[in-house]
Amino acid sequence: MKKFVEKTQPVYVTQELVSRTCDLCGRESNEARWEGKGIYDVEESEITIEVRLKEGESYPEDGFGTKYEIDLCPACFKERLVPWLKSQGADIHEEKWGW
């Protein structure tokens, strides 16, 4: 779940993402991203391929509809989503990384 605050600009109102909450376990992030456990730890979840369902109507002058999005903390991504996807037949492999 994403939390936004409204900010008034001179001409219009904008929204700034200030925090995220995992839609499965309720863990809240610091600011708009998931923080690691320490200064050198890496703990982040990122969807680089967008998986979404968007339905509605689109016209040259306007459009409307519904869409579904989900926020997952790193723990739920690894411990809940990946096992479920594997149980559904997804071919997911853990890879090492470094720089």
Contact 45, 34 (CB under 8 A): yes
Burial annotation 11-46 (CB, 10 A radius, 16+ → b, else e): eeeeeeeeebebebeeeebeeeebeeeeeeeeeebe
How many angstroms separate the Cα of 49 from the Cα of each of 12, 57, 86?
32, 24, 17
In the chain, the percentage of residues whose pLDDT exceeds 90 is 12
What average pLDDT does the structure give for the chain? 79
Q: What is the pLDDT of residues 63-81, one digit of tens each?
A: 888 887 788 888 888 899 9
The reported pLDDT for the residue numbered 47 is: 54
Tally of CA atoms within 13 A in the half-sphere of 34 that contains its CB: 21
The reported pLDDT for the residue numbered 80 is: 92
Give the residue, 40 or 48, on which the prediction is more confident.
Answer: 40
